[in-house]
Amino acid sequence: AGPHEAAALPVGETPDVIEANILAAQLQRLELTAADEAIRGSRRAGGDSESLAVDYPMPGQVSLQSRNDQQMFRIAAVELQPSFHYSAVPLLSDFVYRAVEARNTSPLALLPGPYSAYVEGVFAGRGQLPLTASGQGLALGFGTESRLRVTRVLEEKQTAIRGGNKQLRYTYRFRLQNFMDRPATVRVWDRLPQTPSEQVTVALVEPGAKLSEDPLYQEIERPRGLLRWDIEVPAGASGAQAKSFAYTFQLEFDKNYDIGALPAELEERMRRDLQSLQERKAM
């Protein structure tokens, strides 16, 4: 899928899934080592699946037709109290995604598998339900919100030599548009570059807008270089009235050091860290 296609993030995935973050880091490496322009694009890899055997008590008898193909029947109806929000990873896509967070308050474990998502009775797409124990939280995607858009562009790149060190300062601008008749709060995600060496220091110079105060984000995700802004976009904010902000970060390293190498062990470390994050978010 190209950078402007909704398939950049499947409907069933939250924007901070493991592979998306690894992809974001790889794309950032391209941006940092390319000329002064943002390189956009994505290709998402598949993740591992889990399996578990669970017994579900049936309230009564079920009649099945005598035929060879698979048959489906309801074993339970579970009602959860959802919390809806919008999320965007503009490094990967201009689209804004609808997401739901909820806790499995039923006594049943929810096995992993495909699900169909509907919003106000309208089909929104398909996704993969994660393994969810009773009492555990889960996050699900419910497709794109076509009336919200966000873009990310490299606005400025500055290079300076300070003694024996080289400083690179990058400024990225986000622009959010809301074509709805009501305001919307969008979680905008980005990340500081992951450096393969202690010889490279990364500093957030100016966040542009206040970073999210969500306790879980501040405790776990912020220390790992993930940036999240909770931006309220007014109703009808488009064109010249679009919501806009820019943030700046700086890299500093020995002027002879090559920042273009992202070794495989760094990607694996990122994968482990993000796997741990994903598990804790589901608690």
Q: With pLDDT > 70 as the criterion, what percentage of the chain qualifies?
A: 72
What confidence tens digit (pLDDT) does each residue in 3-18 have? 333 333 334 444 444 4
- Report if residue 28 sits inside a domain: yes
What confidence tens digit (pLDDT) does each residue in 68-104 have? 888 888 888 889 998 899 999 888 889 999 988 999 9
What confidence tens digit (pLDDT) does each residue in 103-143 have? 999 998 988 889 988 888 888 888 888 889 999 998 888 88
Number of residues that this document lists for the chain = 283
Task: Tell me the torsion sign for CA atoms 272, 7, 249, 185.
Answer: negative
- Report if residue 60 sits inside a domain: no
Model confidence, pTM: 0.70
pLDDT beyond 90 at 245: yes
- Report if residue 70 sits inside a domain: no
Burial of 100 (0-12, 13-18, 19+ CB in 10 A): middle
DSSP one-letter code for 5: S
| Contacts with 61 (C-beta within 8 Å, 6 or more apart), sequence order | none
- Report if residue 207 sits inside a domain: yes
- Report if residue 26 sits inside a domain: yes
- Report if residue 51 sits inside a domain: no
pLDDT, mean of residues 177-199: 89
- Report if residue 217 sits inside a domain: yes
Question: How many domains does the chain divide into?
Answer: 1
Q: Which of 129, 12, 29 is nearest to 80 (CA)?
A: 129
Alpha helices in the chain (DSSP H): 18-33, 215-216, 264-281
CA separation for the pair 174, 86 (Å, rounded) = 16
- Report if residue 24 sits inside a domain: yes
pLDDT, mean of residues 54-77: 83
CA separation for the pair 49, 145 (Å, rounded) = 28
pLDDT beyond 50 at 49: no
Which residues span the domain enclosing 225? 6-43+78-281
What confidence tens digit (pLDDT) does each residue in 201-223 have? 889 999 999 999 999 899 988 99
Contact predicate 188/258, CB 8 Å: no
